[in-house]
Structure 1
Amino acid sequence: MEPETTPVRFDTKIAVLLRDDLLTWQRLNITAFLVSGIGTRAPEVIGEPYEDASGMRYLSMFRQPVLVFEGDRELLRSAHGRALSRDLPVSVFTSELFATANDRDNRAAVRAVPTEKLDLVGMAVHGPRNAVDKVLKGAVMHH
Structure 2
Amino acid sequence: MTDHSARPSTAATSRCAVPLNGTAAVAARDALATPLYDPATDGPHWIPPVDIALASAREALARYEGHNIHSHGQMVTAATGLDSALRSLVGALDAEAAQPPGAPDDAEDARQFTARHFPTVTEFLAAPSAAVTGGETR
Q: TM-score range by the shorter chain?
A: under 0.3
Q: Highest CA radius of gyration, 1 or 2? A: 2
TM-score normalized with structure 1 length: 0.23
Higher RCO (CA 8 Å, separation ≥ 6 residues): 1
TM-score normalized with structure 2 length: 0.23
Q: If each structure's strand is expressed as a fraction of its own residues, which one has the higher value?
A: 1
